A and B are shown apart, each in its own frame.
Chain A
Amino acid sequence: MSGFKIYEEVRMFKHILLSTHGSSLSHVAIQKGVQLAKTIKTKITGISVIPEQEYYLY
Chain B
Amino acid sequence: MFKHILLPSDGSPLSEAAMRKGIQFAKTINARVTGFCVGPELRHFGFDADIGPEFKKQAAAAVQAEVAKNLLAIEKAAKEAGVPCETAQEKSDQPYEAIIAAAQKGQCDLIIMASHGRRGVQGLLLGSETQKVLTHSKIPVLVYR
Contact = CB atoms under 8 A, between A and B. Distances in A.
Which label, helix, strand, loop or mixed, suits the secondary structure of the B interface?
Answer: helix
Interface in B1-40: 1-2, 21, 23-25, 27-29
A3 B24 CA distance: 11
B81 A12 contact: no
B1 A7 contact: no
A35 interface: yes
A36 B81 contact: no
A12 B31 CA distance: 14
Instruction: Name the residue among B24, B25, B28, B80 with the largest chain A CB count within 10 angstroms.
Output: B28
A25 B73 CA distance: 37
Contacts of B23: 7
A23 interface: no
Interface string A25-46: 0000000100110011000000
Contact of A12 (B1, B2, B28): B28
Contact of A7 (B2, B27, B29, B140): B27
Size bracket of the B interface: 10 to 19
A interface, size bucket: 10 to 19
A7 B24 CA distance: 6
Nearest to B81: A7
B28 to A, nearest CB: 6
Contacts of A12: 21, 24-25, 28
Nearest to A3: B80
Contact of B29 (A4, A8, A10, A40): A40
B75 to A, nearest CB: 13
Given A4-B82, A7-B24, 10 more contacts: A3-B80, A7-B23, A7-B80, A7-B82, A8-B27, A11-B28, A12-B24, A32-B140, A35-B1, A36-B1
Interface of A: 3-4, 7-8, 10-12, 32, 35-36, 39-40
